[in-house]
């Protein structure tokens, strides 16, 4: 499987990699930081097995706030993908682009049929409905946020919402190995990586056996192991 090139330089420049004795242009440049929401995009790229260049940002050092990065992503966040010279931010947008551009041919994203609508539905649900509840819980429970901005009542409400969302996901996975078309796809990548971290923040996932079995299947894939290497 092709391996990603690496770089520590910010900017729009491309790179090349050798394949079969010839050089091919790397038109995808991926800006990320390990163990962040960028891991979903990283995983998708590894599953695709296509050439791309990686640029690791040091968030603690403020790489994401440097002018050259803000020129590409004014939000100052990861992930960012520069595809054929065009910057794409927001993880969901990147996954949808990669799915339609490369994933369908590789069996990782549904063709334009009702399964694709199902894919859009679950990917949006993961980013908006589930993601909003998770962020609300973290902002009201983690010490890294100012105490006067945290609300135990809001944290408890968010925790209850997460349990409700996990129940929905658990029911959707009843009798299925994967969310859409019963085959592994970017839909699973868009949601599964968040689940293992919930326990660290006091969210009990044990009542949801279908979710736990599904996550175990997903993260057992070799591409996920490569992502965890950074």
Q: How much is the pTM?
A: 0.89
pLDDT tens per residue, range 127-155: 999 999 999 999 999 998 999 999 999 99
Dihedral in degrees, nearest 10, Cα atoms 65, 50, 48, 89: 20
CB 186 within 8 A of CB 230: no
Taking the mean position of all CA atoms in its chain, how far away is CA 120? 14
pLDDT tens series, the chain, 230 aa: 445 666 554 543 344 443 343 333 459 999 999 999 999 999 999 999 999 999 999 999 999 999 999 999 999 999 999 999 999 999 999 999 999 999 999 999 999 999 999 999 999 999 999 999 999 999 999 998 999 999 999 999 999 999 999 999 999 999 999 999 999 999 999 999 999 999 889 899 999 999 999 999 999 999 999 999 99
Rounded distance, CA 68 to CA 215, Å? 37
Residue 131 in tokens:
């993601």
């Amino acid at each position: 499987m092709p391996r990603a090139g690496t770089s520590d330089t910010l900017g729009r420049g491309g790179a090349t990699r050798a394949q079969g004795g010839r050089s091919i242009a790397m038109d995808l440049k991926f800006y990320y930081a390990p163990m962040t929401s960028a891991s979903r995009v990283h995983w998708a790229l590894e599953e695709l097995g296509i050439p791309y260049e990686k640029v690791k940002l040091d968030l603690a050092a403020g790489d994401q706030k440097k002018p050259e990065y803000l020129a590409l992503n004014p939000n100052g966040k990861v992930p960012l993908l520069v595809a054929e010279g065009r910057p794409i931010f927001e993880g969901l947008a990147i996954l949808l682009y990669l799915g339609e551009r490369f994933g369908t041919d590789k069996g990782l994203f549904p063709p334009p049929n009702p399964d694709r609508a199902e894919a859009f539905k679950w990917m949006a649900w993961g980013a908006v409905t589930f993601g909003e509840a998770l962020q609300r819980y973290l902002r009201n429970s983690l010490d890294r946020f100012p105490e006067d901005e945290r609300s135990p009542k809001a944290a408890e409400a968010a925790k209850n919402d997460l349990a409700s969302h996990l129940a929905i996901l658990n029911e959707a996975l009843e009798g299925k190995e994967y969310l859409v078309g019963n085959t592994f796809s970017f839909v699973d990548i868009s949601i599964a990586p968040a689940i293992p971290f919930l326990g660290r923040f006091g969210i009990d996932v044990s009542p949801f056996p279908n979710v736990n079995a599904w996550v175990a299947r997903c993260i057992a894939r070799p591409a996920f192991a490569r992502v965890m290497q950074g």
